[in-house]
Structure 1
Amino acid sequence: MCHVPRLFKLLAVLMSVVMAGCASTVARVDTWEGQLPAATEPAVLQAPGAIQVVSVNGRSMTNFLIDDLALDYGLLPGENEVVFSYKTIWAKAGVVRNGESKVHVIESGPQVVRFEARPDAVYHFEFDKPGSRQEAEAMMENFSAKIVTGTGTVVAVSEEWDGQSRLTASRTPVPVSGGENVGRTQDGTALDQLKAIWADASDEEKKAFLRWAFE
């Protein structure tokens, strides 16, 4: 029995490491490879949890471990291409059978939006928010989202993604060297990504995640 407290301590440490970063509701993911020149001021695209960013300029953004995270995406100034989908979840009414999902998942097809990002500017997604599952399902037939500046100016409207990228991941400011990257990228282990996100999370965001993790 003397080993039980040690086991619990070990599990607690492992959980804290594995969960590092997943709770952050606002964490920046840089979408380029390599290091930025000192004078470069990237733009930021804010994506709520309902928006699942698939790729930016041909570079995959899909290897986060948990969906429904609100994330900020760092963008290089200039033309950017963002592929994404919209997903909303609705609880099922009535009795749910064993093994059956307790929610309805309503998801759009892939969308693409292209716009010119200004240095140090902040953009966000804007779209209609359904009041019911029926409204959400109806929205999916003609779903689109706008990219809006902080002052409310619409700079782009999304359209269906045809799978053909106009930009590529080769849009790199400085070639990757053997040294450590300054920006957080999608490269590296999942643990590295989780640690990077956890470092940016506020105390309240960390507490919210821990509550979620142990429900």
Structure 2
Amino acid sequence: MSMCHVGGFFKLAVGVLSLLVAGCASSLATIDTWEGDLPAATEPAVLKAPGTIQVTDVNGKAMTNFLMDDLALDYGLLPGRNEVVFTYKTIWAKSGVVDNGESKVHVIETDPQVVRFDAEPGMTYQFAFDKPATRREAEAFSKNFSAVIVNAAGDAVAEADVWTEPTKMRTPVSGVSASAYAAGSDNTLDKLKLLWGEATDEEKKTFLRWAFE
């Protein structure tokens, strides 16, 4: 094969690879955090997450894990209350000689964190936090992690907190037993009463707004 043919093949391969990368970038531009199609009048908000933030769950929906951990991603959010679960993760190269089979990097990761905030239609939000300059600073930061969600104007709208799994059953509504619900009662009204008793004040307000729209 002549050098001319080799050069032409190389250019073609590079061109195809560029198209593939561009296609991946556009497909990952914004990740929807809801199921199905949105009503025509709905304008989602966007949450921008840098590569050090690994979003694992949005409103109870697990987010896809991509091959590259340090990939910056945008997440489309429905207007209204949103709950985003994430971890903060950084990778630092090890200095000196590394034994065969030993990892060449230090991975520093926080416990799961959560932010809850009301997203406005069409608004863009992002994470704001300190950026450690050294591994030692990163280790200290991961043990006392602090971050906020800011809007386009730079105003903080939510502060991160340590994520804890929600309890399945809270104090039931008077006259409705949790055991009856767990047993699979066919009484829908009883189930609704129990769920209402489990809901937070904010969840109740959101439900009432939805119910009477």
* TM-score normalized with structure 2 length: 0.66
Question: How much does 1:100 deviate?
Answer: 1.4
- Give the structure, 1 or 2, with the largest relative contact order (CA under 8 Å, sep 6 or more): 1
In structure 2, how many angstroms separate the alpha carbons of the residues matched to 1:151 and 1:56? 23
> What is the correspondence of 1:1-215 to structure 2 with a 5 Å cutoff?
27-164=29-166
Distance in 2 between residues matched to 1:43 and 1:32, nearest whole Å: 12
Per-residue Cα deviation, 1:50-107 (whole angstroms, up to 9, x for no partner) = 0000000000003333321100000000000000000011111111122211111100
What are structure 1's unaligned runs of at least 5 residues?
172-215
> Unaligned 5+ residue runs, structure 2?
1-5, 168-198, 208-213
- Partner Cα distance (1:24, 1:114) in 2: 28
Identity %: 65
- State the one-letter code of the partner of 2:35: E
Q: Kindly provide the amino acid, as one letter, of the partner of residue 107 in structure 1.
A: E
2:160, 2:45 → 1: CA distance? 19
Greater Rg, structure 1 or structure 2?
Answer: 2
Which whole-Å CA distance do the structure 1 matches of 2:110 and 2:24 have between them?
24
Cα pair distance change 1:22/1:144, threshold 3 Å: farther
The answer (yes or no) to whether the contact 1:41–1:119 under 8 Å persists in 2 is yes
SS of the aligned residue for 1:139 comes to helix
State the one-letter code of the partner of 1:31.
Answer: T
For the residues of structure 1 that align with 2:94 and 2:84, how far apart are their CA atoms? 32
- Higher helix residue share: 2
Partner of 1:189: none
Show the counterpart of 1:187: none
Check the 8 A contact 1:111/1:144 in 2, yes or no: no
Q: Say how many residue pairs are matched.
A: 159
> Which residue of structure 2 aligns with residue 185 of structure 1?
none
Q: CA deviation at 1:20?
A: 7.5
**Would the alpha carbon gap of residues 58 and 132 (structure 1) be closer, same or farther in structure 2, given more than 3 Å must change?**
same
CA RMSD in angstroms comes to 2.8
Q: For 2:52 and 2:61, locate their aligned partners in 1 and report how far apart those are by CA, in whole Å.
A: 20
* Counterpart Cα distance in 1 of 2:91 and 2:166: 29
Moved over 3 A (4+): 15-26
1:149 CA displacement: 0.5
